[in-house]
Structure 1
Amino acid sequence: MGGALFLERVSPVHRLAPEVKIAAVLLFTIIVVITPRTEFWAFGGYALLLAIVAVAARVPALWLAKRATIELPFVLLAIALPFAGQGERVDWLGLSLSLDGIHGAWNIFAKGTLGVVASLLLAATTTMRDLILGLDRLRCPAVFTQIATFMLRYLDVLADDARRMRIARLARGYDPRFLWQVKAFAVSVGALFLRAYERGERVYLAMVSRGYTGRLPRTSENRAPMSQWVTAAALPVATAGIALIAGLG
């Protein structure tokens, strides 16, 4: 249960407990979000901190760049803001651009990119199982962690069900590809939902018969040592220092 984004590496970041990495990334993201958009050099400092973490975690820059393209829709939206924004305007290469729109575009691009890269670094250095374990240790609501656990456990099962249903449909000579043939796809999704619901009921009854009381048993009670908390705190502390200096400047 490593996850599609997990990179098997031997690094100091990989060895950190999941809860300390989750807390560090969360605090880093909060500080980035509340940083005023006009503090341009502060965002450069944040990017440098993430670059240092990536090097320490042995995560290739190209790997990060490819997966960071998930934010492209937001980047396209940001590109449109300077043209559609209101308020004071400036001329650049014969184009009339909104100053507020330029700042808004920069705000979306800078903060969005930093958040995406930080999340990718967390996913690259922590397995999905450890992420859920870390959330549980951070006292995340039990309902959330249990749903996530079962989702990961049965995702492959559902994908296999969907694959078999598609093969059965193709074997009967029906392969819907157009909008007016969407009914077959909708029927397949409905059947898959019913199968998943029935399987969930059976799993729940089996768990109750084995003593399930509403909370999964803890697989490990080991807590992260203080040294790991101190190590992980270096990222949010350095981020807060940059934000403080930017604010004073």
Structure 2
Amino acid sequence: MSSGHHHNLFIPGSTVVHRLAPEVKLVAVFAFVIAVAVTPRRSIGSFAVDAAVVVVLFALARLGPRTVLSRLAVVVPFVSFAVLIPFIAGGPETEVLGVSVSTEGLWGTWNILAKAVLGTSASIILTSTTPVAEILKGLSRLRAPAIIVAIMSFMFRYLDLIVDEMRRMRIAMTARAHDPRWLWQAKPIATGAGAMFVRSYERGERVHQAMQSRGFTGTMPRLDTRSASMREWCAAAIAPIVAIISLIAGFALT
């Protein structure tokens, strides 16, 4: 893994969040997301505390509102169905803007939206302050299966290459009067997808053979042996600990 390979999501910086070791950020984000996921939906105070933690981390990482909102937009297609829950759920009803909707459905919509936004925000902080290569290093230090880390490494390394090849194939199809936007163009699209799969598979075989001829044993050499300090672990633990405390308070008060 080349440490110089950065994904588009990473925003270079020298903030305290950027400087944390990747493994502590991975553990902190995982613990925070789990705490948010099991928070009772009626515990609005707990969600408010979690949101405050996220806002503080955004400020510490110097991530502007425009960046955050543009990246949060990714959850819109996945949670858009939640808006329909109050209209199709049963149980007692209440009026919102003159429209009768299910009370349980409203709580369900709130539960989905709050947890999706908070969980995605935690992921945004991780990916914006940590290059992909560092995330993979963090997984290795956390003793993740080596084969999984290797697959992820090559996936990210060649993702841009495959996307660029798909773009070239689309241009070639358009130049031959095939418009991919229309349903009757499904056959050439399927043919192009098959060709892309075969090319990607063959490229993977060639890369694997080339690496084996150079002594590759299945795991990438670890050039950086630095481990996270106790101060980094303590600093990264603040956010999930606050989320867990608010979770316990939420269970106690509901």
TM-score between both structures, scaled by the size of structure 2 = 0.92
Local SS of the residue matching 2:6: coil
In structure 2, the gaps of 5 or more residues are none
| Alignment partners' CA distance in 1, 2:234 and 2:167 | 47
Considering Cα pairs closer than 8 Å and 6+ residues apart, tell me whether 1 or 2 has the greater RCO.
Answer: 2
* 2:195 counterpart (191, 195, 206): 191
Local SS of the residue matching 2:219: coil
| Alignment partners' CA distance in 2, 1:155 and 1:33 | 30
Per-residue deviation, 1:187: 1.1
Per-residue deviation, 1:119: 0.6
The answer as to whether partners of 1:74 and 1:109 remain within 8 angstroms in 2 is no
Partner of 1:155: 159
Q: Counterparts of 1:40-119 in structure 2 under 5 Å?
A: 40-119=44-123
Local SS of the residue matching 1:214: coil
| Residue 237 (1) aligns with residue 241 (2) | yes
CA RMSD of aligned residues (A): 1.6
Task: Count how many residue pairs are aligned between Structure 1 and Structure 2.
Answer: 249
User: Where do 4+ consecutive residues of structure 1 move more than 4 Å?
Assistant: none
In structure 2, what residue type is equivalent to 1:161?
E
Per-residue deviation, 1:171: 4.1
Local SS of the residue matching 1:7: coil
In structure 2, what residue type is equivalent to 1:182?
A
Q: Counterparts of 1:19-34 in structure 2 under 5 Å?
A: 19-34=23-38
TM-score between both structures, scaled by the size of structure 1 = 0.94
Partner of 2:173: 169
| Alignment partners' CA distance in 2, 1:176 and 1:73 | 22
| Alignment partners' CA distance in 2, 1:75 and 1:172 | 39
Does the C-alpha gap of structure 1 residues 79 and 152 become closer, same or farther in structure 2, counting only changes over 3 Å? same
Partner of 1:130: 134
Local SS of the residue matching 1:30: helix
Partner of 2:223: 219
| Alignment partners' CA distance in 2, 1:19 and 1:165 | 39
| Alignment partners' CA distance in 2, 1:161 and 1:65 | 30
| Alignment partners' CA distance in 2, 1:206 and 1:29 | 40
| Alignment partners' CA distance in 1, 2:60 and 2:215 | 44
In structure 1, the gaps of 5 or more residues are none
Does the C-alpha gap of structure 1 residues 176 and 235 become closer, same or farther in structure 2, counting only changes over 3 Å? closer
Per-residue deviation, 1:134: 1.0
| Residue 142 (1) aligns with residue 179 (2) | no
Per-residue deviation, 1:22: 0.7
In structure 1, what residue type is equivalent to 2:231?
S
Per-residue deviation, 1:173: 4.4
